[in-house]
Structure 1
Amino acid sequence: MRNKLKVVVTGGPGGGKTTALDLFRRELGDQIAVVPEAATVLFSGGVTRSDDIAVIKTIQKTIFQLQKNLEDINKAHFPDRLLVCDRGSLDGLAYWPGTESDFFNEVNSTFEEEIARYDAVIFFESAGAKGRDISSNNPVRNESSEQAAQLDIALQKIWSQHPNFYFVGSSESFVRKIMFGIMTIENVINQYQRE
């Protein structure tokens, strides 16, 4: 099947993406390759956040390129597996401290090129979008619930333009949401395997 499918799992902070992907990876084992979140790789490697616009732009350009490189590494390393990405190259647009055209000029790409990298998008709505707590075990996350809600809106606006966009809404029950999210990922993968 040689990398027949590349799915991005995205959404605002505290949406359950990483939890769902971890459980899904355990379920499917060597049928999929999960591409790690570039921002977490970068920030857990010692890069510190900043309020300086020039630094933020440099960090976002680095995350953008790292995301694409991580996808390419996994594609080459696991040519027969389905690629499931913890966030995608367009996520940086929601964090960019400038205009959309400035972002694409700085990363030397276009919206169309980036959205076409993925066969489907599964969007996990942040708990912050419903005013709930987004606490997690991710030590590099620093957003408040309010910031998570704002990022969720921006990310949804970006990714909902993909022709194969699937929405996993926030729920009173995190467990039910994760189960629904895992079923959505599984349904998307099964759909593409039949094509």
Structure 2
Amino acid sequence: MNNLNIKRRIVVTGGPGGGKTTALDLFRRELKDKISSVPEAATMIFSSGIERSLDNKVICAQQIAIFNLQRNLEDVQRKMHPDSLIICDRGCLDGLAYWPGSEEEFFKIMNSSLSEELERYDAVIFFETAAKSGQEIKSNNPIRNESEQTAIILDQRLQKIWSQHPNFNLVASSESFIKKVMFGISTIQNVIDKM
């Protein structure tokens, strides 16, 4: 029987070049009958003809669209798969790390709060960027084109935000990729076992 306090939702996030996308593919293969996944909203938007911008007004408009798409995708998957664990490729709070204004402005515009967004998820699996341990972060995702230095800055911002979740699980960049994936699967399985 499902515990009413369990949202049955995990966010997998982290800085660019952390191995998150590859790990998510492996999670889907390993746990295919137990999970449903939500794709990354930012990739959906930027790969469909909307260009990334350096203009703060455009960045704000893009992050509003990403936030709302992410939230709606999560809600659609919950309705389609009411008994599954939902694995989210990034979460609604990721946009805060890219937001050019203040945190207060972000939550006012999104009509939300930090606590409300953290409460959407049972757990956070954070894949630290490989750039933190001096590795290259070339990506197969053409939308992700950050330099190593930018990846580290974004990773620090994202980690500061998500580490406030009570079930925050850091997968350090120094770990082998196999250990990262096994840790992620173990964390997911722990949430499944509580359902």
TM-score class normalised by the smaller sequence: over 0.9
CA contact (8 A) 1:75 1:83 kept: yes
Higher relative contact order at CA 8 Å, sep ≥6: structure 1 or structure 2? 2
Query: Is the partner of 2:12 in helix, strand or coil?
Result: strand
Partners of 1:58 and 1:92 in 2: CA distance: 11
Structure 1 letter corresponding to 2:180:
K
**Cross-structure match for 1:42:** 45
**Cross-structure match for 1:67:** 70
Give structure 1 stretches of 5+ with no counterpart: none
**Cross-structure match for 1:14:** 17
- The yes-or-no answer on 1:175 pairing with 2:141 is no
Deviations 1:24-48 (A, max 9, x none): 1111113110111110111111110
Structure with greater helix share of residues: 1
**Cross-structure match for 2:91:** 88
Partners of 1:172 and 1:33 in 2: CA distance: 26
CA contact (8 A) 1:131 1:146 kept: no
Query: Is the partner of 2:33 in helix, strand or coil?
Result: helix
Partners of 2:70 and 2:95 in 1: CA distance: 10
CA contact (8 A) 1:171 1:177 kept: no
Query: Is the partner of 2:93 in helix, strand or coil?
Result: helix
**Cross-structure match for 1:106:** 109
Structure 2 letter corresponding to 1:67:
Q
Deviation of the 1:172 alpha carbon: 5.8
Deviations 1:169-193 (A, max 9, x none): 1126333333333333333433x23
TM-score by length of 1: 0.92
Structure 2 letter corresponding to 1:166:
N
Q: Please provide the CA RMSD for this pair.
A: 1.6
**Cross-structure match for 1:54:** 57
CA contact (8 A) 1:12 1:151 kept: yes
**Cross-structure match for 2:161:** 158
- The yes-or-no answer on 1:79 pairing with 2:82 is yes
Between Structure 1 and Structure 2, how many residues are aligned?
192
Deviations 1:56-105 (A, max 9, x none): 00000110001000101111111121101011000000000011001111
